[in-house]
Amino acid sequence: MNEKNKQRIRLSYSRRKELYGYGFIGLWLVGTIVFFLIPLGRSLWYSFNKVIIQPGGLAMKWQGLQNYSDALFKDPEFTRDLRDMLIETAWKTPLILIFSLFIAVLLNDKFHGRTLARAIFFLPVIIATGPVFGIISGDLQTSGNSEASQFSTMFSTDLVGELMQFLGIYGISEEMTAYISAVADNVFSIVWSSGIPILLFLAALQNIPLAAKEAAMIEGASGWDFFWKITLPYVSPFVLANLIFTVIDSFTSPTNTAMRRILTLQSRDVNYGLASAMAWIYFGVVLAALGIVVFAVKRIIFYEND
Amino acid sequence: MSRRKSADILWRIFRFVILFGLSFVILYPLIYMISCTFRERSDMNDPTVMWIPRNYTLSVLRETIQAMDLWNTLRTTALLNLGCACFQVISCAVTGYGFARFSFHGKKLLFGIVILMILVPTQVISLPLFFRFRFFGIKGLFTVNLIDNMLTMYLPAMTANGIRSGLMILIFRQFFRGLPKELEDAAYIDGCGPLMTFLRVMIPNAMASFLTVFLFSVVWYWNDYYVSTMFFQNTRTVATMLYNLDSELKLRLFGDATIQISPREQIVWKQAGCLVSIAPLLVMYIFLQKYFTEGIERSGIVG
């Protein structure tokens, strides 16, 4: 950054700014080449090879697409895990979005105890990315003790039973109880993955200009009209941001089954080539899913400035 | 008018029920954790004990702290966490500013890499990264083994490549783009170079969003166990300790890795482990709650 001063070369203002720009991102650029781009390229390279561990490093044996076809056609679990994960993301993401928008609207009202309510609803933000959440939701099998995790799962499904008992409606009818339990088991995971989406939607709601609210009030709009004609259009750009966030979050979470499969391949079976191939297939699926979602949603977004 | 009023009251009741019920869903695990931590393990087999323990005890808590080697673990984690979070905030802010306010050749391409950083799951690059740190250095000149060294976390954080760095660069870029250009123009006219402008004008304006990003960074590093298990074998963080709590418990508490404890009774230690590992975060959250919930609006993730 300073060498041009030393050399006393007169540079044009824009050229100088350009150099400063490189200066500001320089550190990141070096880091990203060393810690991101090269590893990324390497893992792609592994995926086409049979990786053999030797003292002092790794040796490669070119295999072409062998690893990919093994992952897709030979591995009994991988494609199934992948499909399950896709299905789950597909139905959960819209639910998370609708739910978090709904909660954001509620939390945007003025009422007593709002600060407390907000604090509670954002609590998952600090817990849901860690291993604690794995134990809470009974997802994580700690050291292969499956029985223990079964018990913690049991306690998370029974949560609704608790609530129903609490409200005094437990056991009114068998079917109803079973149905509510099924819904509620998912409520748990939806509520717990909605922390950041709620945060973003709330920020969006607070950005709705006062003028729009006043105009709606003068025109005599009901709360219902207001939601559909004012709130929703203003919030729509955030739907995209939230959508991307939610999809990435669910795909990169280490608790999902496909990811776990890749991990065991790496650590237990030490089959790096196959693990890398799976990771790349996985990444391709994620990208394709995101592409479809972004393409579909982009058309219905309303931008105020356009 | 009265119809409106009754609708209003109905809405309030509805809102209360919904928020109360869902708060229950969120708080339930926490209450359960606390309840389990302070009960004796025999209470787990007593069907009448749901929330309120019959026999109070502190021994479960004590045993868990012992099994997790909590004080040492906490010190390691805090050192890692705060260090990484500081480095990360600074490096991401600088990078974000570079992307927000300067135009240079290849900017679009480079910013595409930032987006790629957000999209690529860590799992894709973790293996090559492991070998990078295992044989760190320049080929033929020197190599050192950095596994189990805190530098494996510090170095990426310093160069804006740590956990979720892409997202943070994006947040800072959006934030700096939202600040008025006049601020910088004034500084330039007064004779500040871009670096001085950044330090003296932009950073003071960005304090609130710095804090928000810092807090999120702390949380994400605290909760990470994937990267830590990859790079650390003997350096234990709270998250990896919790992950291995089962075997640690058996080993340290009973001196026997094969001992059989009823899984139902193990829950007390598990829950206690959960409680002690999120307690520091919870305390931080209680005191700095408003920076989590309000900071993000100002931090520029919006729009």
List pLDDT tens digits, range A37-59: 999 999 999 889 888 877 766 77
Write out chain B residues lying below 8 Å of A275, CB-based.
127
Q: Count Cβ neighbours within 10 Å for each residue of B258-271 and write b for 16 or more, e otherwise.
A: eeebebebbbbbbb
Diameter over CA atoms, chain B = 85
> Does A151 have pLDDT greater than 50?
no
Write out chain A residues lying below 8 Å of B193, CB-based.
20
Cβ-Cβ pairs closer than 8 A, A with B, add up to 268
Contact across the interface for B160 and A252, Cβ inside 8 Å? no
Write out chain A residues lying below 8 Å of B264, CB-based.
151
Write out chain A residues lying below 8 Å of B103, CB-based.
14, 17-18, 21
- Give the CB-side neighbour count of residue B254, counting CA atoms within 13 A: 10
B121, B136, B225: which is closest to A275 by C-alpha?
B121
- Give the CB-side neighbour count of residue B180, counting CA atoms within 13 A: 5
Write out chain A residues lying below 8 Å of B13, CB-based.
none
Q: Residues B138-176: pLDDT tens digits?
A: 766 677 788 888 888 899 999 988 888 998 898 888 888
Which residues belong to CATH 1.10.3720.10 in chain A? 67-298
Range from A108-117, A120-129, A141-150, B104-113 carrying the lowest mean pLDDT: A141-150
Per CATH, domain A67-298 is 1.10.3720.10: yes
* 3-state percent helix, strand, coil for chain A, nearest multiple of 5: 75, 5, 20
Q: Cα angle at A290 between A304 and B111, to 5 degrees?
A: 70
Interface test with chain B among A12, A30, A33, A36, by most B beta carbons within 10 Å? A36
ipTM metric:
0.83
> Does A256 have pLDDT greater than 50?
yes
> Between A156 and B53, where is the model more confident?
B53
Token pair recorded at residue B4: 């409106």
Beta-carbon contacts of B3 under 8 Å, excluding residues fewer than 6 positions away, are: none
Instruction: Give me the percent of chain A exceeding a pLDDT of 90.
Output: 8
Which residue on chain B is closest to A124 by alpha carbon?
A: B26
Interchain contact B247–A (C-beta under 8 A): yes
Which residue on chain A is closest to B88 by alpha carbon?
A: A28
Q: How confident is the model at residue A10 (pLDDT cuts 50, 70, 90)?
A: low
Distance CA B217, CA B163 (A): 8
- Chain mean pLDDT for chain A: 77
Distance from CA of A137 to the nearest CA of B (A): 9
- In this structure, the number of other CB atoms found within 10 A of the CB of residue B125 comes to 24
Stretch 119-178 of chain B: residues touching chain A, C-beta under 8 Å: 119-129, 131-132, 135, 155-156, 158-161, 169
Contact across the interface for B113 and A36, Cβ inside 8 Å? yes
pLDDT score of B86:
94
Please name each of the domains of chain B with its CATH number: 70-243 (1.10.3720.10)
Range from A17-26, A295-304, B2-11 carrying the lowest mean pLDDT: A295-304
Distance CA A241, CA B297 (A): 14
Contact across the interface for A142 and B245, Cβ inside 8 Å? yes
Task: Count helices and strands (H / E) in chain A.
Answer: 16, 2
Mean pLDDT along residues A275-293: 88
Distance CA B80, CA B150 (A): 7
Contact across the interface for B121 and A126, Cβ inside 8 Å? no
Mean pLDDT along residues A196-207: 84
Write out chain A residues lying below 8 Å of B91, CB-based.
27-28, 31
Block means of pLDDT (10 residues each) for chain B, 303 residues, are 78 88 84 84 71 80 84 90 93 92 89 89 83 78 79 90 88 82 83 84 81 87 83 82 77 68 75 88 85 59 45
Write out chain A residues lying below 8 Å of B50, CB-based.
162
Contact across the interface for A204 and B302, Cβ inside 8 Å? yes
CB A213 within 8 A of CB A230: yes
Contact across the interface for B297 and A25, Cβ inside 8 Å? no
Write out chain B residues lying below 8 Å of A274, CB-based.
none
Beta-carbon contacts of B124 under 8 Å, excluding residues fewer than 6 positions away, are: A40, A43, A276, A279, A280, A282, A283
Stretch 24-53 of chain B: residues touching chain A, C-beta under 8 Å: 24-30, 32, 50
Among the partner-chain residues A34, A143, A155, the one whose CB lies closest to the CB of B247 is A143
Distance from CA of A35 to the nearest CA of B (A): 7
Contact across the interface for B28 and A125, Cβ inside 8 Å? no
pLDDT score of A41:
93
Contact across the interface for A17 and B198, Cβ inside 8 Å? no
Rounded to two decimals, the pTM is 0.82
Distance CA A290, CA A89 (A): 11
A226, A239, A293: which is closest to A100 by C-alpha?
A239
Among the partner-chain residues A35, A127, A136, the one whose CB lies closest to the CB of B156 is A35
Mean pLDDT along residues A1-27: 72
Reduced 3-state DSSP string for chain B? CHHHHHHHHHHHHHHHHHHHHHHHHHHHHHHHHHHHHCECHHHHHCCCCCCCCCCECCHHHHHHHHHCCHHHHHHHHHHHHHHHHHHHHHHHHHHHHHHHHCCCCCHHHHHHHHHHHHHCCHHHHHHHHHHHHHCEEECCCEEECCCCCCHHHHHHHHCCCCCCHHHHHHHHHHHHHHCCHHHHHHHHHCCCCHHHHHHHHHHHHCHHHHHHHHHHHHHHHHHCCHHHHHHCCCCCCHHHHHHCHHHHHHHHHHCCCCCCCCHHHHHHHHHHHHHHHHHHHHHHHHHHHHHHHCHHHHCCCCC
Q: How confident is the model at residue A141 (pLDDT cuts 50, 70, 90)?
A: very low
